[in-house]
Chain A
Amino acid sequence: MSAIGRKSWNWSLWIGFVFVLAGFLTYTFFAQFPITRDFPWANLLLFAVGGILLVMGLFRAFGRPQIYRGKIFGPILAALGITMFGLFSYVFFYELRQVPPSTGAPRVGQKAPDFFLLDQNGKPVGLGDLLSNSRGAVLIFYRGFW
């Protein structure tokens, strides 16, 4: 048997890539829990584990090429991994923070502007209705589902 046929599967490259892919794709799942939504701890951890495994895999592929495979796949998976991490960081740390300053929003101590809007059943609801017979109201402005 030739030495080439006996080369070991470079598992750390592939498992590392799966971790990075998981880090890239699972934010919508972790966004259900405030602790992993406000700061993407879980995703960054997945990226970190994946990154370490990918680097290990590359060291094996290039450091001991007589034992491990991965000289071609290694750099491809690593490049894909870096791209996914870059995209994730761009979206989370830049794009999601592009929120208007809302400097003219009513401040603490100011009177909230009155309104009269239709609810989900087409029934008109005014701010006055919300405040009468109540001890306060929370207005939650949200982006919408469209």
Chain B
Amino acid sequence: MRSFQYRLSEFDARGVRVVGISVDPPEVNRRQSQKLGYTFPLLSDPDARVIRRYDVLHRGMGPKGSDIARPAEFLLDPNGIVRWVNLTENIAVRARPEQVFEAFEQIGEPDSH
């Protein structure tokens, strides 16, 4: 997510919102945002309800065997339709902003016709 923060102005320029979602409670998210200088929202899904609905749950991988999210990135258009997905096969390998920019260019202008 660090790379998304670095290039947040480029997301802003495109009008694309960036959010992180994890099982962390808001207090942890606030502390991490301050520590890492993140200015985009970090959303809290403590009982992994949304994480489950997106089927990006990683069972038993959290502290004391709790369920957490696996890394995954989705690009949605303004209608909420998924336009690009990245489901990594390696926890250490995450999406990069340029992949999202490229996917966003593919969507094209929504009101060009």
| In the assembled complex, A29 has its CB within 8 A of some CB on chain B | no
Q: Give the secondary structure class of B's interface.
A: mixed
Number of interface residues of B (CB under 8 A): 70
Of A46-54, A73-81, A118-126, the one with at least 4 CB within 8 A of chain B: A118-126
Using Cβ atoms and an 8 Å threshold, which residues of chain A touch B42? 119-120
CA distance in complex: A41, B21 (Å):
30
Instruction: Identify which of A99, A106, A139 contacts B19 (C-beta below 8 A).
Output: A139
Contact A141 B56 (CB under 8 A): yes
Contact B76 A137 (CB under 8 A): yes
Q: Give the secondary structure class of A's interface.
A: loop
Contact A141 B81 (CB under 8 A): no
Using Cβ atoms and an 8 Å threshold, which residues of chain B touch A120? 26, 29-30, 32-33, 41-42, 44
Contact B30 A100 (CB under 8 A): no
Using Cβ atoms and an 8 Å threshold, which residues of chain B touch A118? 26, 43-44
**12 new A-B contacts at CB < 8 Å, known A115-B43, A142-B21, A142-B22:** A99-B70, A100-B58, A100-B59, A102-B55, A109-B81, A113-B53, A120-B29, A120-B30, A125-B19, A138-B18, A142-B69, A143-B91
